[in-house]
Amino acid sequence: MADALPGATSSSALERTLAPSRSAAFRAVLKSTPWISPATLLIAAVILIPIVIMVRSSFMVTDSSGVTHGFAGFGNFKTLLAEPALGQVISNTLTWVIVVVGGSLAISLGLAQFLNKDFAGRRFVRWSLIVPWAAALVMTSTVWRFILEYGYGILNRVLLDLGLISQPIGWYQDPRYSFISVIVVGVIVTIPFTTYVILAGLQTIPDDVYEAAKVDGAGAWRTYWGITFPLLRPSLVIATILVVVYVFNSFPVIWVITGGNTGNAADTTITWSYKIAFRQQLDTGEAAALSVMNVIFLCVVIFFYFSAIASKGGRQRRLTVAVMRLLAPLAERWGALTQRHSGRGRRDHTDGPARGARLWRAMRPYGMPFFGLLIALFFLGPYVVMFLSTFKNGTELFASPATYLPETWAWRNWIDIWTQLDLAGFIMNSLIISVASTALVLVVSVPAAYYSARHRFAGRSLFMKLVLVTQVIAPVAVVVGLYQEFVWVGAVNQYWSIILTNAAFNLAFSIWILNGQFESVPIDIEEAAKLDGLGPFRTMTRIALPLVRPGLVTALIFSFIQVWNEFPVSLTLFNNPTRGLQTLPVGIQQLVGLAQTNYQYLFVASLMAIVPVVLLFAVIEKHLVSGLTAGAVK
């Protein structure tokens, strides 16, 4: 007994010590509930529950409407594995991700470095990259479909005029070329996003480092491979993961350009799962099985993402170390090569700078703007084709070979579009959904971002990781589960359901960028407000919010643009032409036919949709660069 008493006393003392801390932690969680629970509930209802439903459906017998009829075990997976097209689709997916990600990163590394320099017209060149990024991908894909057409495509006309081909090629119709064509388009439309992500990393490198390199006599190549690339590697790892997610989830490019083709010559697992559920087999159970595999892949990417973020914060993880070790030999080879070259240069030109450097300094004021103009024309070219095509009549549009300029300018196309489609109804639907979704994003994200920035509470880390998960999982990856959830609750073709969906998938960017903005506000200002009797909510609205207005505007405009351009979810869950329930990106697809497409009207409507969002995107371009990787630096 004597031996037991001290232990009992010690245990009691320990319990008394821990009790207040547990109680304080519990009170902290309760205090955080009103601030973060709306965001948590929205994410759970629109993202997590559909994933659970999708996993459940992969083991159930389901009909074409998504209703389950008993347990199927692994039957859906067996059916999927027995599909003749599975091998080709998996091969396509791997090729699509590797080539598009690798190609866009390789080009974007140089392009971001170019755009990080000061030269006349740089803002115009940056703006030219904003256009294909801000424009709805479905509309950009449509103009590329027109460019790649067999008989009247402008690409065939250019290649014929240059003598590079002797007869037109069916770039997207012919299975031999269709997948290659969408890969090329995929690289082109991914470059703007990739460039801006890398540009965000470049702008975090201090100028002092480059000044020190100049003092040491380092040339451009030595500076890049010895300083820029090593310092950029952590951001590059995160950029690579973000681009993998972006490319893997890419639906409109493949769907719009080759979706009408028979077979699966250009399908990836994302587009094929959609075909299985809603176009070909009409089997949501088998589609759910494939979607589960897609989500598993995304979960692996999420693990890599968290590892990369942790390593950037100072905790080196195996993934990032492995990637850096993989890239290090290349940097070392380039560094050694350029060092030898610069050494010879110093020996050969000891009296002054190299002749090439003198020549470049003389040419730089003209060379940089010239190359910038070429880059701008390349990325704006498809939209110039789109604009000129709005003034062609039907006969001219389908002339073979294609005409460069309209022979007869059909100005009435801009008037007739209003009678060809319920364009006003489409615009109104998109406005209602975009405005309401954006408002909901801000109402939910502002309190969550503010409280998580100002308080450390139990569950904060879990909440922020949950937010990051929504940044990685795109709506198209869980659209089968969303469809089944919407069917069960009667939410298909309802405004409120599509608004909730769009809001949930746009919370991540808003929370992360506002969280960083709130953390930058000096705490002393808020402490003074509290001494004046302001409560937490009034402190946020009256003191903190006015100080983070740039971030708030960025989150507002970016969310609006994302919702305005959204396509796959609206195509599936808000698509009833007889009741006038279609958004603008979905509604104008009525002009795309199997036999003939009314491109002149399609492009008029597309430009009406593109121009406003491009202007909005240009407004937030400066803040967007820093906000893109906001979550990666926390």
CATH number at residue 96: 1.10.3720.10
Q: What is the pLDDT of residue 378?
A: 93
Diameter of the chain measured on Cα atoms: 107
Contact between residue 523 and residue 554 where contact means Cβ atoms under 8 Å apart:
no
> If you average pLDDT over every residue of the chain, what do you get?
80
Answer yes or no: is pLDDT of 552 > 50: yes
Contact between residue 592 and residue 141 where contact means Cβ atoms under 8 Å apart:
no
- Which of the four pLDDT bands, split at 50, 70 and 90, describes residue 245? confident
Q: Indicate whether 228 belongs to any domain.
A: yes
Q: Indicate whether 304 belongs to any domain.
A: yes
Cα 522 from Cα 295, distance rounded (Å): 40
- Which of the four pLDDT bands, split at 50, 70 and 90, describes residue 623? low
- The domain total for the chain is 1
Q: Indicate whether 11 belongs to any domain.
A: no
Cα 505 from Cα 467, distance rounded (Å): 10
Share of the chain above pLDDT 70, in %: 82
Q: Give the pair of three-digit tokens for residue 368.
A: 């940089």
Segment of 67-71, 96-100, 273-277 carrying the highest mean pLDDT: 96-100
Q: Indicate whether 398 belongs to any domain.
A: yes
3-state class (DSSP) for residue 124: helix
Average pLDDT over residues 298-320: 61
Q: What is the pLDDT of residue 5?
A: 40
Average pLDDT over residues 78-98: 92
Q: What is the pLDDT of residue 465?
A: 83
Q: Indicate whether 198 belongs to any domain.
A: yes
Q: Where are the alpha helices (DSSP H) in 249-354?
A: 252-258, 269-278, 284-312, 318-348
Average pLDDT over residues 508-520: 85
Q: Comparing 151-165, 193-207, 412-426, 559-573, which segment has the lowest mean pLDDT? A: 193-207
Q: What is the pLDDT of residue 25?
A: 63
- Which of the four pLDDT bands, split at 50, 70 and 90, describes residue 315? very low
Cα 237 from Cα 304, distance rounded (Å): 9
Residue with tokens 């196309």: 413
Q: Indicate whether 355 belongs to any domain.
A: no
Answer yes or no: is pLDDT of 8 > 50: no
Average pLDDT over residues 226-243: 78
- The H or E element containing residue 89 is helix 86-115
Contact between residue 452 and residue 227 where contact means Cβ atoms under 8 Å apart:
no
Cα 489 from Cα 68, distance rounded (Å): 14
Q: What is the pLDDT of residue 533?
A: 77
Q: Indicate whether 357 belongs to any domain.
A: no
Cα 56 from Cα 71, distance rounded (Å): 9
Does a cis peptide bond (omega within 30 degrees of 0) precede residue 401?
A: yes
Domain with 113, as residue range(s), is 36-60+73-347+367-633
Q: Indicate whether 227 belongs to any domain.
A: yes
- Which of the four pLDDT bands, split at 50, 70 and 90, describes residue 94? very high
Specify the pTM. 0.80
Share of the chain above pLDDT 90, in %: 24
Answer yes or no: is pLDDT of 596 > 70: no
